[in-house]
Homo-oligomer: A and B are copies of this chain.
Amino acid sequence: MGSKNNASYNDQAHFSELGRRIEAPPIAWLMEQKLKHPDLISLAAGFTDSPSLPVKEVQTIFAKITKSNKRAMECLQYGVGAGRDQLRQQTAEQVAGLDVSAPEGPCYKPDRVIITHGSQQFLYLLTEALCDENDIVLVEAPSYFVYLGILQSFDTKTRSVPMDSDGMNLESLKKTLEELRQSGEIRKVKMLYLVSYFQNPTGISTSLEKKKAILRLVKSYEKHAGHPIYILEDAAYRELKFPDTPETPSMLTLPGARQRVIYSGTYSKSFATGIRIGFALLPSPLRTVVMRIKGNHDFGTANLLQSILEEALDSGLYQSHLNRLQSRYQSKARHMQKCIQRSFPDEIEWAGPAGGLYFWAKAPKNISTGPRSPLFKKALKERVMYVPGVYTYAKDLNTHDCDNAMRISFGNASLEDIRQGIERLGSALNAQCSRKK
């Protein structure tokens, strides 16, 4: 029974296929770098702004929800798998409100809502419900890298569609669908995944026109697929729009959305990331299965967290906090933009976002931004870190074609860290650009 005996087994060979297949997340490696270099300024983390976390609000809310013993006991007891009735009702209204639709619209019914332990959990549950190995999900190029990791772990394949400044390039989407139809693989296509607001990593939002065109186009291939092709609209960053940015309706507002569009969102980023509450609105047969799987994961998101959100929404503290947060992120983004203008060489392409947490910058094609690139090493030496763009592209692409971008976050860094961080990154970029001239 000693370690000799144990050592005779290959460590991983007896794990499940998923267990053997799943890769270390890029984020783990980035966090290691941060631990190795504690004086590093991380513009990599997708963390939210700490000083603006709603401490006072949560204190007020907590006092309120535990004032009556009956309500307090409810918060501390098990709940039900779908989530608390009131929070589902509020969530349906919240999304309908953003969409300026009547909450009684068919897409915004509380019985289409599920509450999850962060919206990440929903992405997982849904993918479990729909996707087997070798099934296909259409994704934006680039896309949210943790979602790409989920697909990789399930051995579900991707088809990447490049993006314009207002969302997926329709010609490319059409070409991809057409190729899939011709090869017969269209039968394997289960879903199109869209991070439609201030996308992680690019900051790009999908316009309503594009949403319409995408839904129409995908629908037109269903007869070839022989089954529904869903669109997962991941609206995680929707409420982090800057105050000046106009609201874009979600795909739920479109005709034919009810049976095809799955909308996911979160209260974590817009309120407090330590209170992990996500949600989704989705068609009924799929919701039933997602709820069954969630019953096996955890039979319901922690009631205390749900109760806090209910009261936050009900009291107006959620909205007042959000208003402040939107202004705060806007000013941080403007600050970062000024710093970038001052420090980045002209060769770097970038655009300021209208919401969310990220800038996306592209170096010339001949400058790699990858984790082993001279640029990344130089940046570490300058004590600054970004997310290498290559992490955000799915594996169906040639790495070489997506190795020159960076995600730079203003979410968690202080104004001073943004200033210094961008200055340091500017030095690293200037050094690399001048070397390549």
Partner of A298, one of B59, B69, B121, B304: B121
Segment of A159-167, A268-276, A376-384 in the binding face? A268-276
CB of A19 within 8 A of CB of B129, answer yes
Partner of A289, one of B22, B124, B289: B22
CB of A16 within 8 A of CB of B55, answer no
**Chain B hits for A293, CB < 8 A:** 18-19, 22, 153
The answer, yes or no, to whether A431 is at the interface (CB within 8 Å) is no
Segment of A45-53, A89-97, A174-182 in the binding face? A45-53
CB of A124 within 8 A of CB of B296, answer yes
Question: Can you list 26 pairs linking A and B with CB atoms under 8 Å apart?
Answer: A2-B256, A12-B285, A14-B190, A14-B226, A14-B228, A15-B130, A16-B130, A16-B131, A18-B293, A25-B295, A27-B295, A31-B80, A55-B66, A58-B72, A58-B76, A59-B62, A75-B274, A76-B275, A117-B298, A118-B298, A124-B298, A146-B299, A153-B293, A153-B296, A272-B304, A297-B297
Nearest CB in chain B to that of A149: its residue: B296
The answer, yes or no, to whether A73 is at the interface (CB within 8 Å) is yes
CB of A129 within 8 A of CB of B295, answer no
**Chain B hits for A80, CB < 8 A:** 31
Segment of A3-11, A332-340, A401-409 in the binding face? A3-11
CB of A24 within 8 A of CB of B130, answer no
**Chain B hits for A313, CB < 8 A:** none
**Chain B hits for A18, CB < 8 A:** 128-129, 293
CB of A19 within 8 A of CB of B128, answer yes
The answer, yes or no, to whether A310 is at the interface (CB within 8 Å) is no
The answer, yes or no, to whether A255 is at the interface (CB within 8 Å) is yes
Query: A49-84 vs B: 1/0 string, CB under 8 Å?
Result: 011011100110010001001001111111111000
Residues of chain A touching chain B, judged by Cβ–Cβ distance below 8 Å, are 1-3, 6, 9, 11-19, 22-25, 27-28, 31, 47-48, 50-51, 53-55, 58-59, 62, 66, 69, 72-81, 117-118, 120-121, 124, 128-132, 135, 146, 149-150, 153, 190, 219, 226-228, 255-256, 259, 272-276, 285-286, 289, 292-293, 295-299, 301-305, 307
Nearest CB in chain B to that of A292: its residue: B22
**Chain B hits for A3, CB < 8 A:** 259
**Chain B hits for A16, CB < 8 A:** 128-132, 135
**A48 to B18 CA separation, bound complex (whole angstroms):** 35
CB of B129 within 8 A of CB of A15, answer yes
CB of A78 within 8 A of CB of B47, answer yes
**A190 to B55 CA separation, bound complex (whole angstroms):** 46
Partner of A149, one of B14, B226, B295: B295
CB of A78 within 8 A of CB of B273, answer yes
**A347 to B54 CA separation, bound complex (whole angstroms):** 60
CB of B77 within 8 A of CB of A48, answer yes
